[in-house]
Amino acid sequence: MKSDFEQLIVAKNYIAALEKENKALKAEVESQFKMRKKLEASLKAEKEIKEKMTPKEKIQIKADLYVRQQKESIESCANKLRDCRKLTEQLRAELIKAKLGLANGK
């Protein structure tokens, strides 16, 4: 058994550790609260901007987004086509080598 003095020191150290952890948690909560407030303000500003937009501006934004998506899709397809062409050329070369090997072998 530990003496009362030892138990008191252990308890004091435990309380100090808890207070330190509590302080760190409070700081984290405050930080997240401030970030949340900033994000809410940003969201509110974006909503106000969206509400002030004319229908023509909204359509233009949607059109720009659609164009960007189509360009990305075209780029992706072009990359796939280039890869397939490389593979086709490689397979043709292998086929020619195989045919030449059969012709030379007979």
Would you write out the chain's pLDDT as a tens digit for each of its 106 residues? Answer: 678 888 899 999 999 999 999 999 999 999 999 999 999 999 999 999 888 988 899 899 999 999 999 999 999 999 999 999 999 999 999 999 888 887 776 5
Q: What is the pLDDT of residue 106?
A: 55
- CA 22/CA 2 separation, integer angstroms: 28
Q: Do 41 and 10 fall into the same domain?
A: yes
Q: Which two tokens stand for residue 74?
A: 């075209």
Residue entry with tokens 């138990």: 7
Q: Do 74 and 88 fall into the same domain?
A: yes
Domain extent, residue 64, equals 55-106
Query: How many domains would you assign to the chain?
Result: 2
Q: Do 60 and 45 fall into the same domain?
A: no
Q: Do 47 and 2 fall into the same domain?
A: yes
CB 2 within 8 A of CB 10: yes
Q: Which two tokens stand for residue 57?
A: 């501006």
Q: Do 14 and 41 fall into the same domain?
A: yes
3-state SS, residue 36:
helix
